[in-house]
Structure 1
Amino acid sequence: MARDFYATLGVGRDAGAEEIQRAYRRLARENHPDVNKDPQAEERFKEVGEAYEVLSDPEQRRRYDRFGEDFRQVPDDWEQRVGAGAGPRGGRVRYTTSGGGFDGFEGVDIEDLLGGFFGGRGRGGPVPGADQEAALELAVEDAYRGGQRHLNLGGDREYDVKIPPGVLDGQRIRLAGQGGRGSGNAAPGDLYLVVRIRPDRRYRLDGRDIHVELPVTPPEAALGATVPITTPGGEVKARVAAGSSSGRRLRLRGEGMPNPKGKPGDLYAEVRIKVPKRPTKRERELYEELAAVSDFDPRRT
């Protein structure tokens, strides 16, 4: 059965990029194997990732909307072949889609028009190998640093993959010629490794920006302090201003995910004031003394 990527994400065909991204993030969280123990969750997670990979890329989405699941077989010059609207016999061309699948052209011979658009299927011609995809799951730290990764896809399909630093969830790494085999001496397809960054309780990624919680003591929050922050790239120091309350955000420019081609992201640390669960006798005395002399009322501030 043909897959409908829009139905997989639960969005309409007119959905914008932001709606598609929101749907993907929600479904990815719900179905991630580390979170959802349903035996079918991992398969749904992969389907959601594939649907997002296609619909979040304008070029892939345009091809998918035209040709359904056959879109990966469409040559690069398809718009030049079809866009002019004139078939080889001089007739006008009309294409329609239904449920994401390709219905066909009206008034012309599809094979004549496209010149073996899909590799000459049914005519005995050479068929190029299909492009393939595989998930490459990474921890946040591994995505931050990049480096070499050994990947085993089963059998003799083993690869040493170079991961660029700062790779993001949904990005693809292309291994040329490592996809499906072609027939009739046709070229093989490519293998695309789709990056999936595992959820992490310490870090929340928003594009290249990284969000973390910064626990501080009441004295640090009240008086100000320089405190360490653990990031995917190591420990950094940040200054907490005096009088900081929980929820205050510190911005550390350039400390987010690296960007080999441009500006790195930022790190946002949100202050969270923590108190001891079992204060010592002396701590309790000092807290009681503070309560007695302080007229600060946070409920009236």
Structure 2
Amino acid sequence: MGQDYYEILEINRNATDADIKKAYRRLARKFHPASNKEPGSYEKFRQLGEALDVLSDLHKKATYDKFGEDGLKGGIPIEFSKDGAWSTKYAYHDNPEKTFKEFFGSDNPFSDFYISDFPLQFGGLTPGENKIKDDPIERYLYLSLDDLYHGCTKKIKISRKVMNIDGCTSSIRDKILTVTVKPGWKEGTRITFPEEGDQGPNNIAADIVFIVQQKPHPVFERIDNDLIYHAQVSLEMALTGFSVEVETLDGRLINIPFNEIVHPLYKKVVPKEGMPLPDDPSQKGDLIFTFDIHFPEKLSAESKLLIKQALHY
């Protein structure tokens, strides 16, 4: 069953155009994001915008009244359009703020507060009184392991609503936020820019919070302050010895010999070749080698005999 636009606007199907607009004026102010932070209020605000968009247009309304939401959004055969019904498939632009602004002439639900037909719907507050701070806006900041090893600077462009000098209207402005990444930062590190969210006459702008997420690295896995290197070795190498050459994140080549027998659970720790410690970047975690030992898929009888002789105690 499709949406009931009349029910959304809390009117009956005999409502006049004036009734439709009066209902939208009342409810859109009530559920506008600047005045209502309750769960589900924004979806209600969006539904109100779509209901007005349909019912205030004679052709869309005629199609909806006769064929319902399915006919409106799915289109109807052309022969049904002789009575003025709209035959093109309808899709709401999903921008209820745009609908609100076109209807009221402003994106501020408080801009004509004192001349409204419903002067008490916001409890008699004038813009600016008893401001409530918006919930933080959280976004991931994806960084490479190299970024987190060396530290870096990231510049992030945001667009936000900024109040105009009149204190009632707002405009969209861009701003560059600069994040200074410190060596050793870990995934989950939070960087907060206080009150850099959308401004409004009756809210305190939200904090913008970036949460560090580490991109996968082709060579190393990070666990806390340690770096893990997964080495691929043959059974022969595991039993007879080998060396591994690794390029570190600061560009050095280190060669690590393995003379002992390497078994599947074997690990080798190379101290102070891991990640910088966030509190003291001059100190580092460890580089830890783990091993994936490749066994031969098959052996000849002669090879098996030689191995038995070699391993015989």
> Structure 1 length as normaliser, TM-score?
0.46
- TM-score, with structure 2 as normaliser: 0.44
